[in-house]
Amino acid sequence: MNAPAVKLTDISKTFGDNVAVHPIDLEIGTNEFFSILGPSGCGKTTLMRMITGFETPTTGTVQLDGKVVNTLPTRKRDLNMLFQSYALFPHLSVAENIAFELRVRKLPKAEIAQKVKEGLALVQLEHLADRKPDQLSGGQRQRVALARAVVGRPAVVLLDEPLGALDQKLRKEMQVELKRMQREVGITFIYVTHDQEEALTMSDRIAVMSAGEVQQIGKPTEIYDRPQNRFVAAFIGNCNLIPVTVGGSGRSAVVEGYGEVPAQMDGTLADGTGATLAVRPERVHLAAADEPGAIRTRLVTPVFLGDSWRFIVALGSGEQQLTIDVPSGQEGALGAGAPGDDVWLRWSPEDARLLTE
């Protein structure tokens, strides 16, 4: 990782008897797209507000570019913000909205004009420079707000759920666009969201938060493929979570009423230790009955989703169930399967994690 643009040391926040953010140490690299991800009330917005200066930390220090800024007001920190509401001035044109902060800073007119031109090009709105916000679509207004946030080239831009007001199709398009723009301008983005897809799509790294604590920090593939606890496994995407006991010296799991299935864990635990088996639906594959290592299950419910089939199957007596996602065309005879039919499955041990927290 690059040298940190933001460094938080033992940072925490309490409101009376309520601990909103437990002590956290965190470094965010220069030019990194970093997401803070978690459900409502997890502390992610409070953490962002301590970085911006809207909240004063109860303990710890906030550093921007190596400088402690705890006592600096927001306006004196080298950062900018982008919110879901956009907060555009309705009486100003697109170009004037982008230029507003530059004019407040009293930059030379020629420099302002050049920066506005660059900002318009970045968000591909040159042809709408003279329009007012009420003449724009939601996606276009979001682009104007982003151009205004980055045009002054702050060291850090904080984005608080900026795509929340857009429809699903436009949100997906803007996820790709935001990442492109961030790479192009070379500014550290800190993105606060509860949307796992947004975080996985755009981020270089993600911090997953719950109940005021950081549960895991890592690259999107690490967070998804190697969750460190049950919360992360359940919160990020879809995941089968089955209570098991450790078997095979941490290389398998024992499902009550069924038997041993492949699994893998970080570290070692004694056989018989209680754990949770975490395996993603798309990592479970259909198998032939005579295939080595095939696991026999019973079909409970087949669901056609268009581009895929979702099968719910039961292990053993049926108390433990698995969800399987199979691309359309690869389901074989199971597409017309009836509840109660045998279904044979397989998965790689490295795709099934044993979690103890």
Q: Could you give the dihedral angle defined by the CA atoms of residues 259, 263, 269 and 271, in that order, rounded to the nearest 10 degrees? A: 20
Summarised one tens digit per residue, pLDDT across range 124-140 is 888 988 999 889 888 88
Mean pLDDT of the chain: 87
Average pLDDT over residues 207-219: 95
Summarised one tens digit per residue, pLDDT across range 317-356 is 667 889 988 888 776 756 557 888 888 888 888 888 888 8
Closest to 225 in 3D by CA, of 39, 38, 350, 357: 350
Summarised one tens digit per residue, pLDDT across range 178-205 is 888 888 888 999 999 998 988 999 999 9
Residues 6+ positions from 84 with CB-CB distance below 8 Å: 160, 161, 162, 163, 164, 165
3-state secondary structure of 300: strand
Residues forming CATH 3.40.50.300 domain(s) in the chain: 4-230
The strand ranges marked E within the chain are: 4-15, 18-29, 33-37, 59-64, 67-68, 79-83, 156-160, 188-193, 205-210, 213-218, 240-247, 252-255, 259-262, 274-279, 285-286, 295-304, 308-315, 320-327, 342-346, 352-355
Closest to 353 in 3D by CA, of 222, 227, 219, 216: 227
User: Would the pLDDT of 113 be above 60?
Assistant: yes
pLDDT for 334 equals 64
Q: Which of 14-23, 176-185, 214-223, 235-244 has the lowest mean pLDDT?
A: 176-185
pLDDT for 169 equals 79
Residues forming CATH 2.40.50.140 domain(s) in the chain: 239-355
Sign of CA dihedral 284, 285, 286, 287: negative
Closest to 99 in 3D by CA, of 117, 77, 81, 85: 117
Tokens of 144: 């104007």
pLDDT for 308 equals 85
Ranges of H-type helices in 71-167: 94-104, 109-122, 138-150
Summarised one tens digit per residue, pLDDT across range 234-272 is 999 899 999 988 887 667 788 887 888 888 876 677 788
pLDDT for 50 equals 95
pLDDT for 10 equals 97
Tokens of 26: 């965190």
pLDDT for 63 equals 94
CA 221 to chain centre: 11
User: Would the pLDDT of 221 be above 90?
Assistant: yes
Tokens of 242: 């089955």
User: Would the pLDDT of 27 be above 90?
Assistant: yes
CATH superfamily of 239-355: Nucleic acid-binding proteins (2.40.50.140)
Per CATH, the architecture of 4-230 is what?
Answer: 3-Layer(aba) Sandwich (3.40)
| Inter-residue contact 355 to 266 (CB < 8 Å) | no
Residues 6+ positions from 272 with CB-CB distance below 8 Å: 245, 246
Rounded CA-CA distance 252/248 in Å is 5
